């Protein structure tokens, strides 16, 4: 099957986005949360698993996409209409994230304020405006200012109530800021006293988006994709990975804190992976198997939002099995997977893969009818 036509879009970027979104759905929807293979889990604290790469990869993609979308508008004398559209889109993404946190019970008193979509919205707004209003040199400066500034902030600013700076889970500066501003009623219920998408850690997340913009500028150096651009991307990616690994000795890789080493390491990996996809698809015109991920990439927000809503609905206790009231998801898992797959980890993985395949079918039908929901 020929790849879906995407006009003048960067096909490799849509495929990379699709891979990232599909991976996000896979890790967010296991058949059983108690039986998950380690690569599909987040690190408990310091360290980096394959699952920890998904969110920073998405922010990197946001940065690249900003350049592709706004490169021809940057020279416009009047930026106000463009900035209005940026704010509208960004706040819509934030609003969708808040809706997901409220759904389905709408308990405003204990509503979690941060979230994945909220962080994406903030990073998009800041990075898009930076791209319009600043030069590439200024963006480089801001990137390193955020990287170094966040390191100094987390490692040298004394923490009220606890004294000396530290990077422990409950007593670091980011956790203290979350408790002070958000309060424990509005953080993630699984952590309670801090939030993995909290206020302070969103600052270096912006740097992840800026790195994507830097890569986007490299990709758009020439009108025609070339092997030279792919090699430049690999070079920049490897340098960032090396610096990130070196930085790990001073500021450990940590997704929950979104440490500076985590930004550099994950941005470097994202650049290397993207360069390979870019070379295969845009330079070598390789199209076999592209459609599977392309349908996810072209309707990314739709599938992320829709899959989260459906997952929440399926988890509402409404069915009785062996005198226990369970959600439809658990009933389906226990009925169609557990009896036929003896290994609990394989059964859980099979449940997650089934959820991804069902969404592929939905998105494939949408693409056939040219339904692409944009914000």
- Rounded CA separation 345/337 (Å): 11
Decide the pairing of beta strands 324-326 and 319-321. Answer: antiparallel
Confirm whether 4 is domain-assigned. no
Looking at the 3D structure of the chain, how many domains does it have? 1
Q: What is the mean pLDDT of residues 310-336?
A: 86
Say whether pLDDT at 162 is over 90. Answer: no
The parent domain of residue 262 ranges over 11-368
Confirm whether 65 is domain-assigned. yes
Residues 6+ apart with CB under 8 A from 174: 154, 194, 198, 199, 200, 201, 257
* The token pair that represents 340 in the structure block: 């036929």
Confirm whether 2 is domain-assigned. no
Q: What is the pLDDT of residue 140?
A: 97
pLDDT digits (tens, 9 = 90+) for 32-71: 999 999 999 999 999 999 999 999 999 999 999 999 999 9
Q: What is the pLDDT of residue 75?
A: 83
Residues 6+ apart with CB under 8 A from 17: 58, 61, 65, 296, 297, 300
* The token pair that represents 264 in the structure block: 């550099």
pLDDT band at 320 (very low <50, low <70, confident <90, very high): low
pLDDT band at 4 (very low <50, low <70, confident <90, very high): very low
Q: What is the pLDDT of residue 359?
A: 96
Q: What is the pLDDT of residue 163?
A: 86
Confirm whether 306 is domain-assigned. yes
pLDDT digits (tens, 9 = 90+) for 274-303: 999 999 999 999 988 899 999 999 999 999
Confirm whether 227 is domain-assigned. yes
Confirm whether 246 is domain-assigned. yes
Say whether pLDDT at 267 is over 80. Answer: yes
Residues 6+ apart with CB under 8 A from 34: 344
Confirm whether 158 is domain-assigned. yes
Q: What is the mean pLDDT of residues 332-340?
A: 93
Confirm whether 375 is domain-assigned. no
pLDDT digits (tens, 9 = 90+) for 219-243: 998 778 889 999 999 999 999 999 9
Q: How many CB atoms lie within 10 A of CB 244?
A: 24
Of all residues in the chain, the percent with pLDDT exceeding 70 is 97
Q: What is the pLDDT of residue 324?
A: 77
């Amino acid at each position: 099957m020929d790849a879906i036509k995407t006009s003048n879009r960067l096909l490799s970027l849509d495929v990379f986005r699709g891979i990232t979104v599909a991976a996000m759905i896979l890790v967010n929807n296991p058949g059983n949360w108690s039986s998950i293979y380690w690569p599909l889990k987040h690190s408990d604290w310091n360290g980096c698993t394959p699952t920890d790469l998904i969110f920073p990869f998405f922010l990197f993609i946001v940065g690249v996409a900003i350049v592709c979308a706004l490169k021809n508008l940057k020279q416009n004398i009047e930026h106000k209409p463009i900035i209005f559209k940026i704010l509208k889109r960004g706040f819509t993404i934030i609003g969708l994230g808040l809706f997901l946190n409220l759904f389905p019970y709408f308990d405003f008193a204990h509503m979690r304020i941060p979230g994945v979509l909220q962080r994406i919205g903030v990073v998009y707004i800041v990075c898009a405006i930076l791209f319009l209003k600043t030069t590439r040199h200024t963006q480089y400066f801001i990137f390193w200012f955020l990287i170094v500034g966040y390191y100094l902030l987390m490692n040298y600013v004394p923490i009220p109530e606890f004294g000396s700076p530290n990077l422990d889970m409950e007593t670091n500066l980011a956790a203290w800021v979350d408790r002070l501003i958000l309060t424990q009623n509005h953080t993630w219920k699984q952590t309670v006293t801090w939030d993995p998408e909290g206020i302070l850690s969103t600052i270096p997340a912006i740097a992840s988006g800026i790195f994507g913009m830097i890569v986007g500028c490299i990709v758009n150096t020439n009108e025609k994709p070339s092997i030279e651009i792919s090699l430049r991307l690999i070079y920049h990616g490897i340098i960032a990975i090396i610096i990130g690994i070196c930085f790990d000795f001073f500021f450990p890789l940590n997704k929950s804190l979104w440490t500076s080493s985590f930004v550099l390491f994950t941005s470097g990996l994202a650049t290397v992976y993207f360069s390979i996809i870019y070379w295969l698809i845009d330079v070598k015109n390789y199209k076999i198997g592209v459609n599977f991920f392309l349908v996810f990439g072209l309707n990314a927000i739709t599938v992320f939002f829709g899959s989260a809503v459906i997952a929440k609905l399926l988890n509402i206790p409404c069915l009785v099995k062996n005198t226990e009231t369970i959600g439809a998801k658990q009933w389906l898992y226990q009925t169609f997977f557990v009896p036929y797959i003896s290994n609990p980890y394989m059964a859980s993985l099979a449940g997650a893969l089934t959820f991804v395949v069902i969404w592929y079918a939905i998105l494939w039908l949408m693409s056939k009818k040219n339904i692409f929901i944009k914000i």
